[in-house]
Chain A
């Protein structure tokens, strides 16, 4: 048994200091320590993208990140995508165009799309598909999701 460590990081702009085992998954710390349950656990092995978050500007699967590796990092979860009452253009597009069905993949899909548009504001079809390729939707509503991203881009 190892001792818990004191760690600090920033989530959605807010500084947090907490105690954790170094190998604890970022996913579990977000959900259980910070009660940010918008980040979902799908497969738990990096296949599905439901747990995607943005760490220092890079999209990452939080199930594959031990908490010690994000010490002092800046993390954006789905809860940090909207600016107060103002939804992000990607979120609004998902609502308007049926991009969400059961909802489990949605936070990861939205973050993947937000990350894509931040890097490339006018992606072509192949770039959109590539940007979403790490996120699985078991409702298989891929076309609506794809169209939502296209609409978000044109907003």
Chain B
């Protein structure tokens, strides 16, 4: 049953500074509320247990995309529609654009934000695998400080994050060094739009003289968190793509991920599809 609406508070600060001040003055009392595409679903099912929210959606300072020669930096409120429309993201970070285009439908993409997708901390989220494969960094800001940390390692367990109650995820940054990479993003769900993934792979790789020089592999929906598969990457680095390498990658991956049975799929299906996607990525990388 829907949560009782009068019990919920949603206040709108005039600025980012004011939002940070509210978070700092009463730590844990207030939580940020962005596009609402996840939180309103919880409200509807009666599972929105926290009651006091700060409406950060109108803070346009968090919706900018900044480009420098080294980086592209996205405000945390950048919506999926904004991501798909950005020419630099389209040409240099295509997996992020594809993730954005395969999240929900247009009405969701107009409201869903990249920052919300991160801090909602779903292991089935669509953009985090791409962010992990692109080695993204995230900025956490409080009233008194601001820090950039690698996105990898931010999620420490199911719905757990390295983030203080007074901190807000403000920006996401990626290095513009993807020019020679092959990018592979594949979300497997029940239908093309409006589906939550059963398995999702985002991977980038590059080869030199038929050897894998650089490879980054991230999966969604196969562990309690969206996971970067460092052991599989280590096993692949320096190898020549081919049947033997693919077999080694499959065996390593099986020991690195821990899919479960749930409402959307089964552990055995996910394991099989995950290893098949990895094999497909390596085959495409070889042809690249």
Contact = CB atoms under 8 A, between A and B. Distances in A.
Interface string B244-280: 0000000000000000000000000000000000000
B111 A64 contact: yes
A34 B7 CA distance: 23
A68 B193 CA distance: 28
Interface string A46-86: 11010010000011110111101101000000000000000
Given A64-B37, A64-B41, A136-B194, A46 B108 contact: yes
Given A45-B41, A61-B107, A133-B194, 17 more contacts: A21-B5, A21-B8, A23-B8, A46-B41, A49-B107, A59-B107, A63-B44, A64-B111, A65-B111, A68-B12, A69-B57, A112-B106, A130-B101, A133-B105, A134-B104, A134-B106, A134-B193
A21 B6 contact: yes
B77 interface: no
B55 interface: yes
A22 interface: yes
Interface of B: 2-3, 5-12, 33, 35-37, 40-41, 43-45, 53, 55, 57-58, 81, 101, 104-108, 110-111, 192-194
B10 A66 contact: yes
Given A1-B6, A24-B5, A133-B194, A66 B36 contact: yes
Interface residues of A, number: 32
Nearest to A72: B58
Interface of A: 1-2, 21-25, 44-47, 49, 52, 58-61, 63-66, 68-69, 71, 112, 115, 130-131, 133-136
A92 B143 CA distance: 54
A45 B85 CA distance: 26
Nearest to B57: A69
Nearest to B111: A60
A134 B193 CA distance: 7
Contacts of A69: 10, 36, 55, 57-58
Contact of A59 (B12, B41, B57, B110): B110
15 contacts: A21-B8, A22-B11, A25-B40, A46-B37, A46-B107, A58-B110, A59-B107, A59-B110, A60-B107, A61-B107, A61-B111, A63-B40, A65-B40, A130-B193, A133-B192
Contacts of A46: 37, 40-41, 104, 107-108
Contact of A60 (B9, B45, B110): B110
A25 B101 CA distance: 26
A45 B44 contact: yes
A68 B105 contact: no
A130 B193 CA distance: 8
Contact of B43 (A23, A47, A130): A23
A144 B177 CA distance: 46
Contacts of A59: 106-107, 110
B105 A49 contact: yes
Contact of B8 (A2, A64, A71, A115): A2
A54 to B, nearest CB: 10
B4 to A, nearest CB: 9
Nearest to B4: A1
A129 to B, nearest CB: 9
Nearest to A136: B194
Contacts of A24: 5
Contacts of B45: 45
